[in-house]
Amino acid sequence: MKLIDVTDPLDQNTPTYPGNTAFTIEPIRRLARGDTSNVSTLHISAHAGTHVDAPRHFPDDGPGVETLALEILCGRARVIELTTRKTITPNDLAGIDLNEDVRVLLKTHNSRLWGSPEFHPDFIGVTDAGAHYLVERGVKVVGADVEPGIYEMFCLPLSVVGADGAPARVVLRRS
């Protein structure tokens, strides 16, 4: 089985939204110092790199990431190419048949920024109206930046009780 890992690896160059915690690894124990094992502490924003936003990301009383149904995060996904857009609006999405697709990945020019340590505030994103358009059509998962096509997606965020988001490992398998 060939899987495509679309996870943005976490390292010291992972772009961080202004005001969020930058990713670091702090060595706590090391074999080289005579410890019985290597152990590290990770310092990370819940929204760093490839991640899943929980409903709690905006309303304080929203459900945490641990409540997200894995059946929603895993399954058929459609990748739609929108590389000529600056923002993604309902007009950009209107001609696309989304009837069977509850997981939509949007290929934009954001992927050109991968590997750049700076946060780019001019990233291409879905407008509020575009997000409402997708929700009204039953889309449950929105992601970004992989080659167009139909895939089976496996998106597994860390199950952190009460968290407003969590890092995730996301892989695709061509359908």
Supply φ then ψ for residue 134, to 5 degrees: -65, -45
- pTM, two decimals, is 0.74
Over the stretch 115-130, which tens digit does the pLDDT of each residue have? 666 665 556 566 678 7
Residues that are catalytic: 57
Q: What is the CATH number of the domain that holds 85?
A: 3.50.30.50
What DSSP assignment string belongs to 30-91?
Answer: -GGGT-SS-EEEEE--TTSSSEEE-GGGSSTTSPPGGGS-HHHHEEEEEEEE-TT-SEE-HH
Identify the domain containing residue 91 by its residue range: 4-174
Percent of the chain residues past pLDDT 70, beyond the cut: 83
Structural domains in the chain (count): 1
Over the stretch 27-79, which tens digit does the pLDDT of each residue have? 999 999 999 999 999 999 999 989 999 999 988 999 999 999 999 999 998 88
Do 80 and 88 meet the contact criterion of CB atoms below 8 Å apart?
no
